[in-house]
Copies of this chain bind each other. A is one copy, B any other.
Amino acid sequence: MTDRRGDRRGGRTGVWFAGARGSVATTAVAGAAAVRTGLAGAAGLVAETGDFRGAGLPALSDLVFGGHDVVQTPLVKRAEQLASAGVLPAAVAAAVRPDLLAADAEIRDGHDGGEPPSAAAERLAADMTAFRDRHGLDRVVVVNVSSTEPPAPRRPEHQDLDALERAIAAGDEVLPPSSTYAYAAFRAGCPFVDFTPSTGPRLPALDALARSRGLPYAGSDGKTGETLLRSALAPMFAARALRVLAWSGTNLLGGGDGATLADPAAAASKTASKQRGLAQLLGRPVDGELHIDYVPDLGDWKTSWDHVLFEGFLGTRMTLQFTWEGCDSALAAPLVLDLARFTARAHEAGEAGALVPLAFFFKDPAGTTDHRLDAQYTALREWAARRLGAGAGAGERPEESA
């Protein structure tokens, strides 16, 4: 591996999106090009901050993009839509056209059920492998940024890899699409990142598959807004012995995600993931509803209002309210790039299974129940410090994963 920066490892890295034509993937592809070429600064990219220099992460310029999607809209057109919605600067959308065209040429037909599962898995895996071979990539990280699924029904086959593979072979649609992507990725020797609250790789059978192939995975559900704030604020109440009585939240969002979550079944995945974290942060369940409302005219923007009722000295009741107004794609896209780079590095270092040190990025982190933002950040930096200066590949001692 040629390492132009001296401290960089990870080699040429493919980033393969499930949902490659969505807002997040489009912004990630366009943004990576814009930052790489100096059109835009590095704001939002955790991997570019001082704490992670020298940790051997692949550079932005080492990333090659492709993926699956069930829709056909060209990426150039998606970027224009995002520009007119104020998500991408118009100048960026225009300047990165070649990068969008290149990624577009690497997008294949996606999967959303209906195809015999065994054929689907084989086809998806073949697309990933061909992408890796075509570009001579050291590795391909598969990142799920497709629409949120409804919670999948539990099946006994999810507990056991052999049973799962028998069911798939028998044509049983035992896996939801997100898990089929993870299954295909692991079969193709690719690490997996689930940026959505869908099931993805979070099944014992898939965990076993990942470990047996020496593959790491990270997830679930990128922590971009309200939950990010909750994970920063809840530890403050705990440290100061202020007793939270109720934590209520309302999220208004438009865009594709809003439309998906207007379906109560899909919203259930997200709501459950958010409330689980809060109870764990506060050490017990607290009162308070969590609403996700679809407001089409908000487009890619999201507004969260949270109201925290807490009790201080001598039972005095006090409140904190916050309103967060963020652009979903602008918050999610850099994390997706970060996750691909951190996961690639973990794979290079020989890690397998759930990547607990990446909990910092997720609402519902795989392999841990510690939701405190600062503790997660400390864990990520410690992981990076251990990767620092370590030899690449076989020479590097893998660490235990959760």
A contacts, CB < 8 Å to B: 27, 30-31, 34, 40-46, 48-49, 84, 86-90, 92, 228-229, 232-233, 235-236, 239-243, 245-246, 248, 250, 252, 287-289, 291, 293, 295-298, 303, 305, 307, 309, 311-327, 330-331, 333-334, 360, 372-375, 377
| Total identical chains | 4
Tell me, in angstroms, the Cα distance from A309 to B317 when the chains sit together: 18
Given A250-B291, A291-B291, check contact A317 B297 (CB 8 Å): yes
Q: Which 9 A-B pairs have the closest CB atoms?
A: A44-B313, A374-B374, A316-B330, A322-B322, A232-B236, A245-B297, A289-B293, A313-B334, A250-B250
Inter-chain contact A373/B297, CB cutoff 8 Å: no
Tell me, in angstroms, the Cα distance from A222 to B87 when the chains sit together: 31
Report 13 cross-chain contacts, Cβ distance below 8 Å, ordered by A residue: A27-B314, A34-B314, A41-B315, A43-B242, A43-B314, A43-B315, A49-B241, A87-B316, A232-B233, A235-B377, A246-B296, A297-B317, A298-B309
Instruction: Kindly identify which residue among B42, B235, B316 contacts A374, using a CB–CB cutoff of 8 Å.
Output: B235
What's the minimum C-beta distance from A337 to chain B, rounded to whole angstroms? 9
Inter-chain contact A46/B326, CB cutoff 8 Å: no
What's the minimum C-beta distance from A9 to chain B, rounded to whole angstroms? 21
A324 contacts across to B, CB distance below 8 A: 318-320
A239 contacts across to B, CB distance below 8 A: 46, 360, 373-374, 377
Inter-chain contact B86/A86, CB cutoff 8 Å: yes
Given A241-B49, A289-B291, check contact A312 B334 (CB 8 Å): yes
What's the minimum C-beta distance from A74 to chain B, rounded to whole angstroms? 20
Tell me, in angstroms, the Cα distance from A334 to B316 when the chains sit together: 12
A241 contacts across to B, CB distance below 8 A: 42-46, 48-49, 334
A303 contacts across to B, CB distance below 8 A: 307, 319
Tell me, in angstroms, the Cα distance from A41 to B241 when the chains sit together: 11
Inter-chain contact A323/B320, CB cutoff 8 Å: yes
Inter-chain contact A43/B312, CB cutoff 8 Å: yes
